[in-house]
Amino acid sequence: VPKSAVTLLQGEEVVFMLNDKELYPQLVETGGIRNDWIEIKNGLKKGDKVVTEGMFLLKSLLLKSQIGDAD
């Protein structure tokens, strides 16, 4: 996947996946890096749709929703 698709969330490597109009973080195990691409060893299967841009915004929205749930 593009390197831009992988981000850290609470110390874990994740990608944001799209499934039936819903975005959610998916834990992944990464491998080698070549140019702008990073190998995913575990956590994805062929055909999965991942977000490749806007990670900061997605993480912010996720954390905001978690804080809102704590009330």
pTM listed for this prediction:
0.75
Closest of 26, 10, 23 to residue 63, by C-alpha: 10
Listed in sequence order, the DSSP H helices in the chain are: 55-69
Domain 3-69: top CATH class: mainly beta
- Taking only the tens of pLDDT, the chain with its 71 residues reads 999 999 998 899 999 998 887 888 999 999 999 999 999 999 999 999 998 887 777 777 776 676 765 55
* Phi and psi at residue 70, to the nearest 5°: -75, -15
Instruction: Tell me whether strands 22-27 and 7-9 are parallel, antiparallel or unpaired.
Output: unpaired
Q: How far apart are CA 65 and CA 14, in angstroms?
A: 18
Closest of 18, 28, 16 to residue 56, by C-alpha: 16
Which pLDDT score is estimated for 70? 52
